[in-house]
Structure 1
Amino acid sequence: MIKPGPVFTPPQTPAARCLHLVRLNPIITRSELVEATGLSQPTITRATAALLEAGLVQERTDLTRTRGRGRPTVPLEVADSKWILAGIAIGTSRTHIALFDTMGRTLREDDIATPVARLSESDFIEHIMAGVNRLTTGISRTLVSVGVTTSGNVDEDGLVWASNLGWEGVDIAERLRYQFNVPVVVSSAIPAILGSETQSAELDKQENVLVLFADDSTGAALSTEEGVTQLVPLPTISSELLNLKDAASEDNVSTQAVLDALAVDDIHVNTLAEAAEVAEGNETARSILDERARLLASIAADLVVEHNPVTVVLAGSAFIDDPRAAKLFASHIREFIAERGDGADIHALQLRLIPTHQEIVRAIARAVALDPLLRVPLSLQPSSPPAEAPTPRRRASLRG
């Protein structure tokens, strides 16, 4: 079985590096793989033979090239394997489940209602398993792995810690492994946002990119040549308006924290989009939303000064549902970097916004589904599920 982490690391094994390059190049030869990877010809020959046997790549015999008396050159391409890779993106009220083939194409997808606060751990996981079973019904392919993303943090043992979900050390992977008898990887949704980009990057040419996610939970991650790392804890924040002094960022700039701050001033709304609409005619509401944008910029500026990324990616409802937030954030972050960065080139920093929630959800489900394939492709072997799934060991309980 594949260990829970680390996910979204660059391909390390010869087979993984070869598969990565074959996926990026429609047609590639073994000699070109030798040149691109720096590995020896015998190593590439063994790796490609294993990928051919697994059905992950195939030879294009119709494009065979013959040069002199040497052995003919037969190019390789990605094969349409009969494997299925499942990706599950858990949300506070809904969960996105998608099935992908080994070429990364979406076969089927669905959003299911999973109100975490009202479900027991067992009921929640039953919802997830039922959703996967519905999607796989009638597909003549074999499920070989399951990937899961959640809010909060995932420790090195694959346990989930997410305050907005009420989860403290929850081992969601255990039941899924028993049910489907396949490897299961679990990741925070935040590094998965960057994982979706690193999976299509060239080998050994990954630039530092920072993602800041602000929604029902708040977090950041950094991608480098070594892989994607969630940055925990976030820098502390202080705000006279919100009565915060050197406070933890993760919960104090979440959407719920904003809604609670509005309620103190007798502004009662259920969503951030409603709050932004009210703020059009309410200076108090507008000042609270603006303060959140400023605090998020302060957090990001500290991370930029420390890690020097070339790009900052913004994601989450904080930037999507409040039309003014992204522009305010951009203004504040450059101001803060100029103050704290000791001559940092703020003009070279690029800001990029992921414009929709659905785009984020689909990207992270695909990223976590493909991670085992791209990281350890030869470890995925189809197997039949057990006749009866045993009751898993409970590590922790959900609240609710």
Structure 2
Amino acid sequence: MVTPGVVAAHLRVGSAPSAVVLNAIRVGAPAFREQITGMTGLSAATVNRQITALVESGLVDERPDLLDSRGVGRPKIPLTLDRDRYCVAGLHIGARRTALVIADIGGRLLYSHAVRTQEGRDEDGAAAVERLCRGLAELAGRFSGRQVLWAGAAVGGVVDPASGTVTHPILHWSQVPLGEILCRHLPVPVSVAEHVQAMAAAELLLDGQIAPAGAGLFFYARETVGMALILDDEIYQPVHGPGSIAGLPVAPGVLAESPIAPLQSVIGTAARKAAAARLGVPDDAGVLADERARVLGEAVALMRDVINPDAIIVAGEAFGAHPRGLAPVQAAFDAASSLDWPLEIVPTKFGLHVPDSAPVAVALAALYGDPLAVIRDC
């Protein structure tokens, strides 16, 4: 039974019949029953049973107003998600900025608001989380016409998904009970996930695919770096938490004074400013942008050679800041990879909004996994 409290997020595409049908309606709306049967491979009887239950639960709408009256024969009623009855709430906690978001059950952002993660050096982790969660609850209160089904949080550092506690070295947080505090302010089920895994989950769950397949590598770089694996229809979540690529050795060129440096130490703002001062050039000088693109391309190529994924998705300001976009990153990647088949690096479909989409994916994961159970027990 789903009750208010911390629930470990399982970031995967649901396989239960109700989940498969809900996803088909979400992706194909407005969709007809025959279409859904073809999209899912389920029997017509199973599809009809699931649709009836989803309509009764308030997740799906029958939309006779969308009928084309010019058709011949008995009209077939289109189906869409009911985007007005429910919503989810979320926090993406970054090192500097936290996004407070509300989204509908299709993952569409209804509202997003950015605040400082910490207000001054005197605010400790628990106090910061109390303030952030209180702000999210106040924001959710503005949507009183909708029922909040779930709350999700995406945060860097080390996350215990079962308890929702967070240790964040950059913020100097140690075992901060984020999940417990969030549940106290929003008395609904709460899930907390590591933020790069959560961003990868947005690509998987909110992208509009029916049957994702293959292995994908999701690579994030801004002030911090991280990587997640998408394996067919699931984000790989190791028992002891995700590994780290922050210390991946790279050749930084002009971005550092040493010939080899940890990846995370050379891609952020501080490294760029320090390099600009050493070289006597502006922060946005082309040489700095070129070097960062090269470093990122070579780092992604190294991980590609180890994992050999079918697809690579990148996100974060460090990838998008070069005046020529991903082209220099791709060129460095192509030159550095030792595998002999070409692979195109593609940007996240969420652009600059991928951090906002991350907690939405965490909050919707349970609904997309077993929608009828979530509604029954909420």
Partner of 1:171: 177
Query: Among the aligned pairs, what percent are the same residue?
Result: 26
Deviations 1:307-347 (A, max 9, x none): 3344433322323445478443222111111xx22xx222x
1:186–1:358: structure 2 CA closer, same or farther, 3 Å change rule? same
Paired with 1:79 and 1:252, the residues of 2 have a C-alpha distance of: 46
RMSD: 3.7
Residue type at the aligned position of 2:248? T
Question: Contact 2:24 / 2:36 at 8 angstroms: preserved in 1?
Answer: yes
Question: Contact 2:62 / 2:79 at 8 angstroms: preserved in 1?
Answer: yes
Residue type at the aligned position of 1:154? V
Shift of 1:191: 2.8
Shift of 1:17: 1.0
Shift of 1:22: 0.8
Paired with 1:116 and 1:217, the residues of 2 have a C-alpha distance of: 20
Residue type at the aligned position of 2:16? T
Paired with 2:222 and 2:251, the residues of 1 have a C-alpha distance of: 19
Residue type at the aligned position of 1:216? E
Map 1:113-132; keep pairs closer than 5 Å. Answer: 113-115=116-118, 118=121, 119-132=123-136
Shift of 1:350: 1.6
Out of 33, 36, 41, the residue aligned to residue 38 of structure 1 is 41
Paired with 2:360 and 2:196, the residues of 1 have a C-alpha distance of: 13
Map 1:277-316; keep pairs closer than 5 Å. Answer: 277=284, 279=285, 286=287, 290-316=290-316
Map 1:54-69; keep pairs closer than 5 Å. Answer: 54-60=57-63
Paired with 1:294 and 1:88, the residues of 2 have a C-alpha distance of: 32
Q: SS of 1:374's equivalent?
A: helix
Partner of 1:252: 265
Partner of 1:361: 355
Q: Which is worse superposed, 141-150 or 37-46?
A: 37-46
Deviations 1:170-194 (A, max 9, x none): 4311111222121112223323333
Question: Contact 1:161 / 1:170 at 8 angstroms: preserved in 2?
Answer: yes
Partner of 1:102: 105
Partner of 1:26: 29
1:296–1:5: structure 2 CA closer, same or farther, 3 Å change rule? same
Q: SS of 2:283's equivalent?
A: helix
Q: SS of 1:12's equivalent?
A: coil
Question: Contact 2:221 / 2:316 at 8 angstroms: preserved in 1?
Answer: yes
Deviations 1:49-90 (A, max 9, x none): 33122100123456599989xxx9654322234212112221
Residue type at the aligned position of 1:217? T
- Using structure 2 for the length normalisation, give the TM-score: 0.79
Partner of 1:335: 335
- Whether 1:276 aligns to 2:288 is no
Out of 197, 218, 231, the residue aligned to residue 203 of structure 2 is 197
1:17–1:181: structure 2 CA closer, same or farther, 3 Å change rule? same
Question: Contact 1:109 / 1:135 at 8 angstroms: preserved in 2?
Answer: no
Deviations 1:136-166 (A, max 9, x none): 3343222111111122453553443433233
Partner of 1:345: 341
Question: Contact 2:88 / 2:102 at 8 angstroms: preserved in 1?
Answer: yes
Out of 354, 372, 380, the residue aligned to residue 366 of structure 2 is 372
Paired with 2:376 and 2:42, the residues of 1 have a C-alpha distance of: 29
Residue type at the aligned position of 1:218? V
Partner of 1:232: 243
Residue type at the aligned position of 2:197? P
Residue type at the aligned position of 1:232? G
Structure 1 residue runs of 5 or longer lacking an equivalent are 269-273, 281-285, 385-400
Paired with 1:27 and 1:305, the residues of 2 have a C-alpha distance of: 42
Residue type at the aligned position of 2:97? R
Paired with 1:189 and 1:40, the residues of 2 have a C-alpha distance of: 38
Question: Contact 2:215 / 2:311 at 8 angstroms: preserved in 1?
Answer: yes
1:48–1:326: structure 2 CA closer, same or farther, 3 Å change rule? closer
Paired with 2:80 and 2:351, the residues of 1 have a C-alpha distance of: 33
Q: SS of 2:90's equivalent?
A: strand
Residue type at the aligned position of 2:355? V
Partner of 1:392: none
Paired with 1:171 and 1:6, the residues of 2 have a C-alpha distance of: 19
Map 1:76-155; keep pairs closer than 5 Å. Answer: 76-115=79-118, 118=121, 119-139=123-143, 140-155=145-160
Q: Which is worse superposed, 373-382 or 134-143?
A: 373-382
Question: Contact 1:164 / 1:216 at 8 angstroms: preserved in 2?
Answer: no
- Using structure 1 for the length normalisation, give the TM-score: 0.75
Deviations 1:367-397 (A, max 9, x none): 334333322323434999xxxxxxxxxxxxx
Paired with 1:327 and 1:168, the residues of 2 have a C-alpha distance of: 40
